[in-house]
């Protein structure tokens, strides 16, 4: 759909052309302005695709208007409409960038042809192939960032099926194999050199990665990204069969790989100290991880930095020192708990409940819910729900419907199962309130539009004016109205005007042209054409038909 603005200081021309284009099967939203300044005010608020304007107008003429419109909307096509067959005007308008020039005396056909030509020019400028080509060019520039964002999401536990992972790896040109296990190494800079300024730290961090890559790139395919707390993360896959000794099994191959990783990381550590004067620590997986378990395993590695030997400096550890029990699996779920807030904001009920059940099930039925992971998850959930209730301004409403003590204190619940049931019930109410709020606001917008139209049938009922009345953009208002009612705003305006005209014709002695003016038509001929198109009768024929009854 394209937007056409018709501008002329003669109302009869504006209204006639507006009606002409509204009756045609063209992808146009038609707007009206009765002088250059009014047209400029409209274009400052609303993007225009085509402006059909008179040249000779008081205060702001067509060429001055065009200059301002093109400054606001460079892609807009301007067609000049004038009664002057003057070469100087034609030359000036063409130099200013007009796509066409039509004399008023030539009639409707050349004007329609000029608008159709402008529509064609716009569609040719932005073709599907061009958009895809430009997107591909931009994507190449953004690939490094997109790769890191996707891999970071996998580390944080974002679920991904094998098929979707394969597709994303191919689309983002990730050099790793989506179906082969991956080795994970995590690094930390324990102490910066004394002369390192804040601006130098990204450079030194990148230098650590360069050293790491120099030692490992020959034997591994690897990708580097940034982890939480400024940690360095490498996802790595060895060349197939590289660490298998002749006649040995998978277990020995894993041991060979692990020994190589630890030994080479010692070299990386020494090089960072010698060449960069940086003290670094590293942890590494004792075996390759499947992509499905990557998040849980990555959490195990990260925990090594936070306890025991990991609290020291210049350490080198593997996850052989950690357990793999239910606690570690449940621990990993907490990292994803903030996604629940995201799913609430997005109103994605299915994803919310899938993750919620996963988190609650990971804890199982603990002997106590007042310590450890249950306690941590409970108050994480409480913070999420309170924040969301405040954003929606429904805190007071919901607190009155639930047992508030159970939201604020874990000891108010008899079991972890009861905790899950409580938060599930609260979630159901939140989603219901969001749905009700959306429905209520939509109804209010539609009601306000109807009220305004019925009270201003003789005035400005352009989409731009209506959108200002309800504080929405014209495009969004048009779409919202049609989604709610099943028909367009212009259809409703037409029906309202016809109904009002019928009432006035049947109940008042007003003359035909006076009835037309009451519903927004200053010209009796245009009103007659409008009414006959809607009812198949002229206004006079309709009035006469009522007298016969």
Q: What is the pLDDT of residues 165-174, one digit of tens each?
A: 999 999 898 9
* 2-126 is classed CATH 3.40.50.970: no
CATH class for the region spanning 142-324: alpha beta
Give the mean model confidence (pLDDT) for residues 510-523.
89
Using N-to-C axis directions, what is the helix angle for 372-391 and 416-455, rounded to 10°?
A: 10
pLDDT over threshold 80, residue 51: yes
Q: Which region among 36-40, 105-109, 125-129 has the lowest average model confidence (pLDDT)?
A: 125-129
Question: Side-chain half-sphere of 286: how many Cα atoms within 13 Å?
Answer: 12
pLDDT over threshold 50, residue 250: yes
Confidence class of residue 97 from pLDDT cuts 50, 70 and 90? low
What are the residue ranges spanned by the domains of the chain? 2-126, 142-324, 332-438, 456-547
Q: What is the pLDDT of residues 188-215, one digit of tens each?
A: 999 888 887 878 888 889 999 999 999 9
CA triplet 457, 461, 466: central angle to 5 degrees? 125
Percentage of residues of the chain with pLDDT beyond 90: 32
Q: Which region among 24-28, 29-33, 102-106, 529-533 has the lowest average model confidence (pLDDT)?
A: 102-106
Confidence class of residue 468 from pLDDT cuts 50, 70 and 90? confident
Of 482 and 98, the one with more pLDDT: 482
- DSSP, res 364: -
Q: What is the pLDDT of residue 247?
A: 46
Mean pLDDT of the chain: 85
- Note whether 142-324 and 456-547 share their fold: no
Give the mean model confidence (pLDDT) for residues 521-542.
88
Nearest to 315 by CA among 260, 236, 262: 262
The side-by-side arrangement of strands in the sheet containing 183-191 is 220-226, 232-238, 183-191, 279-284, 316-318
Q: What is the pLDDT of residue 271?
A: 94
Tokens of 525: 């001929």
CB 369 within 8 A of CB 325: no
- Adjacent-strand bridge partners of 280: 189
Give the mean model confidence (pLDDT) for residues 288-307.
83
Q: Which CATH code for domain 456-547? A: 1.10.10.60
Give the mean model confidence (pLDDT) for residues 243-255.
60
Nearest to 539 by CA among 530, 528, 549: 528
pLDDT over threshold 70, residue 176: yes
Q: What is the pLDDT of residue 252?
A: 57
Where are any strands of DSSP class E within 15-165?
A: 28-33, 50-54, 77-82, 100-103
Where are any strands of DSSP class E within 263-400?
A: 279-284, 316-318
Tokens of 444: 């209010």
Of 58 and 325, the one with more pLDDT: 58
Give the mean model confidence (pLDDT) for residues 97-108.
75
Q: Which residues contact 35 (CB under 8 A, 6 or more apart)?
A: 7, 9, 57, 58, 59, 60
- DSSP, res 228: G
272 CB neighbour count, 10 Å cutoff? 22
Q: What is the pLDDT of residues 223-235, one digit of tens each?
A: 999 887 788 999 9
Helix, strand, coil share (%) of the chain residues, nearest 5: 60, 10, 25
pLDDT over threshold 90, residue 478: no
Nearest to 241 by CA among 223, 255, 252, 253: 253
pTM for the full model?
Answer: 0.51
CB 524 within 8 A of CB 513: yes
Q: What is the pLDDT of residue 332?
A: 60
pLDDT over threshold 70, residue 246: no
How far apart, in whole angstroms, are the C-alpha atoms of residue 432 and residue 318? 48
How far apart, in whole angstroms, are the C-alpha atoms of residue 145 and residue 326? 34
How far apart, in whole angstroms, are the C-alpha atoms of residue 419 and residue 405? 12
SS3 304: coil
């Amino acid at each position: 759909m394209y937007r056409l603005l018709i501008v002329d200081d003669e109302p009869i021309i504006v209204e006639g052309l507006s009606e002409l284009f509204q009756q045609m099967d063209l992808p146009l939203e038609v707007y009206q302005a009765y002088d250059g300044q009014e047209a400029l005010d409209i274009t400052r608020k609303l993007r225009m695709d085509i402006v059909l304007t008179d040249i000779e107008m008081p205060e702001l003429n067509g060429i001055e208007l065009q200059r301002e419109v093109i400054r606001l909307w460079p892609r807009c096509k301007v067609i000049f409409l004038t009664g002057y067959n003057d070469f100087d005007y034609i030359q000036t308008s063409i130099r200013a960038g007009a796509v066409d020039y039509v004399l008023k005396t030539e009639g409707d056909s050349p004007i329609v042809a000029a608008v159709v030509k402008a529509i064609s020019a716009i569609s040719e400028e932005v073709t599907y192939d061009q958009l895809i080509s430009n997107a591909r060019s931009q994507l190449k520039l953004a690939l490094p960032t997109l790769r890191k964002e996707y891999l970071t999401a996998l580390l944080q536990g974002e679920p991904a099926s094998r098929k979707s992972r394969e597709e994303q790896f191919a689309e983002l040109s990730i050099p790793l194999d989506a179906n082969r296990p991956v080795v994970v190494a995590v690094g930390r800079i324990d102490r910066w050199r004394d002369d390192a300024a804040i601006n130098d730290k990204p450079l030194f961090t990148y230098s650590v990665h360069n050293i790491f890559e120099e030692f490992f790139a020959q034997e591994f395919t690897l990708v580097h990204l940034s982890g939480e707390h400024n940690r360095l993360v490498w996802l790595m896959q060895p060349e197939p069969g590289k660490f298998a000794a002749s006649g040995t099994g998978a277990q020995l191959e894993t041991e060979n790989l692990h020994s190589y990783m630890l030994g080479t990381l010692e070299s990386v550590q020494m090089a960072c100290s010698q060449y960069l004067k940086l003290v670094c620590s590293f942890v590494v997986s004792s075996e390759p991880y499947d992509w499905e378990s990557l998040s849980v395993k990555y959490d195990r590695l990260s925990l090594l930095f936070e306890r025991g030997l990991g609290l020291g400096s210049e350490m080198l550890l593997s996850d052989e020192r950690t357990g793999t029990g239910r606690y570690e699996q449940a621990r990993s779920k907490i990292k994803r708990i903030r996604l629940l807030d995201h799913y609430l904001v997005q109103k994605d009920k299915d994803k919310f409940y899938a993750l919620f059940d996963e988190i609650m099930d990971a804890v199982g039925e603990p002997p106590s819910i007042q310590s450890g992971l249950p306690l941590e998850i409970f108050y994480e959930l409480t913070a999420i729900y309170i924040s969301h209730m405040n954003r929606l301004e429904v805190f007071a409403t919901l607190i009155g419907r639930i047992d508030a003590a159970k939201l604020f204190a874990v000891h108010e619940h008899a079991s972890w199962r009861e905790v899950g049931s409580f938060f599930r019930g609260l979630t159901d109410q939140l989603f219901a309130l969001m749905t009700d709020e959306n429905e209520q606001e939509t109804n209010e917008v539609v009601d306000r539009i109807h009220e305004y139209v019925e009270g201003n049938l003789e005035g400005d009922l352009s989409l731009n004016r209506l959108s200002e009345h309800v504080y929405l953009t014209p495009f969004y208002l048009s779409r919202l109205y049609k989604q709610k009612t099943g028909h367009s705003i212009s259809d409703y305006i037409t029906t309202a005007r016809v109904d009002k005209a019928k009432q006035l014709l049947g109940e008042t002695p007003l003359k035909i042209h006076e009835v037309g003016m009451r519903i927004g038509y200053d010209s009796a001929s245009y009103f007659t054409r409008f009414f006959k198109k809607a009812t198949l009768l002229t206004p006079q024929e309709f009035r006469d038909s009522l007298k016969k009854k």
